[in-house]
Structure 1
Amino acid sequence: MGVDHATVGRRITALEEGLGVPLFHRSPQGYSPTDQGYKMLPLAEQLESDAMRVFDEVAGASTSLTGSVRIATHVGIASFLLAESAAALCRLHPGLEVQLLAVPRSFSMSKREADLVLTGTRPQTGRVKIKKLATYPLHIYGERNYVARNQPIKHKKDLSKLRGIGYVPDMIFDKELDYIPSVDPSLKAHLTSTSLHVQLQMALAGAGVCILPDYIARNYDTLVPVLDDAIELERELWLTVPEDFAHLTRIRTIVDFISEDVVSRIKSTNKI
């Protein structure tokens, strides 16, 4: 908003005094809406959308984007697809600030936690625009020497002698990340982490085998696929934008660029 917290606080207080009702509960943890605040939310969102539309109509002719855009996604997508896309986008538009949120949780579009969300699960509800970007393959990968030491691995039953690496089962925030049951419900991961980066480092260190998207694994020469002819998973990548913002020139431009760039990176990896 371009102002400090104290200014926002004073403006909220002035608004509450003008309306004669409290809009927020205040606590050491921050602000949360009262019942009256929730009732006002749809009206506030409409005012925000109208204000942005006015700005877009006046300044939309500019070919250079400015301001910030917040993109939320999984850490693997952020690191191996969006990081380079964001860099390319900022080279085209030096005045643009791209914020990548890559934390293991879901994001609320209704609470404006992000302008764009990329996820493996198709959103089911909400006032949002949804676009499927791609379908990408995943395989089981292990460090070359670790796999060689545990040969022969010719059938799915041979996976039981390998040390599995995966997500902490009761902390998987997106059901599409629960890969192991899709391979064999009887298998169990012996090394687990909420972080895909940690899982990747475990696999690179020869600690076991891990299910990874091909667009990640094929960046590392020391990783080799295991039973890749017999076992292949597929996941979808979805992009979601709040419906009120989807029409804005700035958001449309960013969505189009991110969509094309991410899809091209996935396709180029699949051809390797």
Structure 2
Amino acid sequence: MDWDDLRIFLAVAREESLSRAGRRLGMDASTMGRRVARLETALGRVLFAKTPQGYALTPEGTALIPHAEAAETAAHAAGEALTGAGLTGQLRIGAPDGCANYLLPQLAARMMRDHPGLEIQIVALPRVFNLSRREADMAIAVSRPRTGRATVQKIVDYQLHLAAHEDYLRRHPPIRSRADLRGHSMIGYIPDMIFDRELDYLRETGADHAALTSNSVSVQLQAIRAGAGLGIVHDFAIPFAPGVQRVLAGDISLRRSFWLLRPGDDMRSGRLARLAEEIAQGLRRELGRLEAQVQMQEKRTLDETICRGNAGL
């Protein structure tokens, strides 16, 4: 049995589509179809049933999955043994868009410098990733999954605060307490598109309505930067939005966690274990660096305010 045929079989099984599987492997759909048919002929079994929704596994196809995945693990292990200490090949990381936009690019750049043969794909989607279908090799989540076979590792806690652009704050009365928030425009998630309860930020501020909403934290941050109102912002994203500053930081402070999820059957892969550890360590370093920038900027602003006050005495 040809391993390459099994690789194609696994891609179709996970994507449930010849075209999607082909895009992932860099092949056209017709080639994928021919290779699946060749494997079925060689085995004397029908592995897929074509349905209106795509390619569904038959009982025979389902029975082949664990054997194909074992071959996949063995092939990766052989590659690791031959390539030595360096990490090579493709790595697909799924992440919520805040992490994907403001943390993973710097981490990916560092990992690719350290491992020139490594190719990294960052998939930023506002939803939970399905690792059993190999939508990603590993995923970063904002809450610990309660079900499934994924291997779960807590990476790090992070901070979020209410924030606004300095121009918005100049145009409105001072905000010294939660009571002063009444009448302000709030920015947040589209309520029925909150895919994880940990993202229901505005509820913790006491606000019951947002005038401008998006399913993307990056869009929310840009709206805040444009002066559209106040919203909850990741501290690690603030350095990417000049002029945005925390509001009522001592009163409204949220803590959340990032979790690293890996398929439960990849624990035998030394390569993925090493990649997972590099990702976890790299995220901790980068998040700490960015959050420290916010603290330093606030200290500089406070010192400048005190100096101006003393100069006016």
Query: TM-score over 0.5 for the alignment?
Result: yes
Structure 2 stretches lacking a partner, 5+ long:
1-6, 8-24, 296-313
Report how far residue 239 of structure 1 moved: 0.5
Are residue 40 (structure 1) and residue 64 (structure 2) matched? yes
Q: Counterpart of 1:162 in 2: which secondary structure?
A: coil
CA drift of 1:139 comes to: 0.2
The corresponding residue for 1:267 is 288
Q: Tell me if 1:210 matches 2:231.
A: yes
**Aligned-pair CA distance for 1:212:** 0.7
- What is residue 243 of structure 1 aligned with on the other side? 264
What is residue 21 of structure 2 aligned with on the other side? none
1:109-161 Cα offsets, whole Å, 9 max, x none, are: 11111111011011223332211111111001101121232223222122221
Mapped to 2, the partners of 1:52 and 1:175 lie a distance apart of: 36
Offset of residue 19 of structure 1: 4.0
Preserved CA contact (<8 Å) 1:160 1:187: no
SS of corresponding position for 1:99: strand
The equivalent of 1:137 in structure 2 is 159
Aligned to 2:146: 124
Which residue is 1:187 aligned to?
208
Structure 2 residue identity aligned to 1:204: R
**Aligned twin of 1:224:** 245
SS of residue in 2 equivalent to 1:44: helix
| Structure 1, unaligned runs of 5 or more | none
Larger Rg: 2
Partner in structure 1 of residue 16 of structure 2: none
8 Å Cα contact 1:90/1:97 also seen in 2: yes
Structure 1 residues 101 and 3: alpha-carbon distance in aligned structure 2, compared to 1, 3 A threshold:
closer
Q: If the length of structure 2 is used for normalisation, what is the TM-score?
A: 0.79
Cα RMSD of the aligned pairs, angstroms, is: 2.1
Q: 2:178 pairs with 149, 152, 156, which one?
A: 156
2:152 equivalent to 1:107: no
Which residue does the alignment assign to 1:4?
27
Kindly state the Cα deviation for residue 267 of structure 1 after the two structures are TM-superposed. Answer: 1.6
Report if aligned partners of 1:142, 1:204 keep a CA contact under 8 Å in 2: yes
> Tell me, what secondary structure is at the counterpart of 2:240?
coil
Once the two structures are superposed, what CA deviation does each residue of 1:180-222 show, in whole Å capped at 9, x if it has no partner? 11222x5211101112221111101100011011000133331
Quote the Cα distance in structure 2 between the aligned partners of 1:188 and 1:3. Answer: 46
| CA positional deviation for 1:50 | 3.4
Contact 2:107 2:282 in 1 (8 A): yes
The higher relative CO (CA closer than 8 Å, separation ≥ 6) is in 1
User: For 1:21-54, what per-residue CA distance to the aligned partner results, in whole angstroms no more than 9, with x for missing partners?
Assistant: 4322335764232344334323332332233334
1:253 to 253, 271, 274: 274
2:51 and 2:150 map into 1 onto residues whose CA distance is 31
CA–CA distance in structure 1, aligned partners of residues 54 and 231 of structure 2: 40
| Counterpart contact for 2:107–2:286, Cα < 8 Å | no
SS of equivalent to 2:103: helix
Distance across 2 between alignment mates of 1:121 and 1:199: 21
Match in the other structure for 1:168: 190
The normalised TM-score by structure 1 is 0.90
Are residues 229 and 100 of structure 1, via their aligned partners in 2, closer, same or farther at CA, if it must alter by over 3 Å? same
Q: Which has the higher helix share?
A: 2
Corresponding residue SS for 1:165: strand
Query: Structure 2 vs 1, CA of residues 163 and 3 (structure 1 numbering), >3 Å: closer, same or farther?
Result: closer
Matched with 2:94 is 72
Q: Distance in 1 between matches of 2:82 and 2:265?
A: 18
The 1-side partners of 2:248 and 2:239 are apart by 16
Match of 1:95 among 117, 131, 135: 117
Q: How does 1:10-25 map to 2 (within 5 A)?
A: 10-25=34-49
Whichever residue aligns with residue 243 of structure 1, its letter is: G
Within 1, Cα distance between the matches of 2:65 and 2:118?
28
Identity of aligned residues (%): 38
